[in-house]
């Protein structure tokens, strides 16, 4: 519905604009929801480290771990905090820098055609109920504007390089809430209608 969106910005999300984006290739359809997990410092929740990282304002000297990612310029379209707060960093019409080298359904360069969604969390740990609720609503909202054909984890599109969101993410729970099924060709989930 038109009222949910202001261009590529979801109205109900808190905006925290990132400079780390560029244009998608001309004529590229946005068709994938790509799920990650992140926390800064790792395993610590509720702080502003991720927002500072995505907006190039992280104090690299504030924590020893930050030295290992010093100078990194990355972003995602959205982050879902543990309490369910939804933050948007990049317009969904633009290309956020979240996937790196990646392939889905034999098509490389997932950043070109995906929406990057970070869940506040750590690989291997579980995620909170409000995060699933918000994630289901977010994917549903995305489908009102974009031809989303699947939802996958970073681990599915960058196998061997990335492991997030990891075994703590409940794909069956997420799929049941969306009414989606397992995607046998690429891991993750796909709408039931796409399998017909």
**Residue 55 burial class via C-beta count within 10 angstroms: exposed 0-12, middle 13-18, buried 19 and up:** middle
First to last CA, the chain: 25
Among candidate residues 51, 85, 118, 133, the one labeled active-site is: 118
118 given a catalytic annotation: yes
Measured at the alpha carbon of residue 83, what is the angle toward residues 150 and 99, in degrees to the nearest 5? 35
Secondary structure of residue 10 in the 3-state scheme: strand
- Residue 160 region, left (φ>0) first, then alpha (ψ -120 to 50), else beta? left
Secondary structure of residue 191 in the 3-state scheme: strand
Catalytic residues: 118
């Amino acid at each position: 519905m038109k009222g949910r969106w202001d261009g590529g910005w979801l109205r109900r999300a808190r905006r925290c604009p990132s400079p780390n984006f560029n244009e998608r290739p001309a004529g590229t359809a946005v068709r994938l929801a790509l799920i990650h997990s992140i926390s800064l410092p790792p395993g610590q929740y509720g702080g502003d480290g991720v927002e500072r990282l995505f907006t190039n304002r992280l104090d690299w000297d504030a924590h020893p771990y930050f030295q290992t990612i010093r100078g990194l310029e990355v972003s995602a379209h959205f982050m879902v905090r543990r309490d369910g707060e939804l933050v948007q960093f990049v317009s969904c019409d633009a290309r956020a820098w979240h996937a790196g080298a990646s392939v889905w359904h034999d098509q490389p360069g997932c950043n070109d055609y995906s929406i990057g969604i970070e869940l506040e969390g750590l690989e291997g740990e579980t995620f909170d109920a409000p995060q699933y609720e918000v994630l289901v609503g977010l994917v549903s909202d995305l489908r009102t504007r974009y031809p989303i054909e699947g939802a996958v984890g970073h681990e599915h599109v960058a196998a061997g390089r990335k492991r997030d969101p990891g075994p703590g993410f409940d794909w069956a729970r997420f799929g049941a809430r969306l009414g989606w099924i397992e995607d046998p060709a690429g891991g993750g989930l796909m709408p039931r209608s796409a399998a017909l």
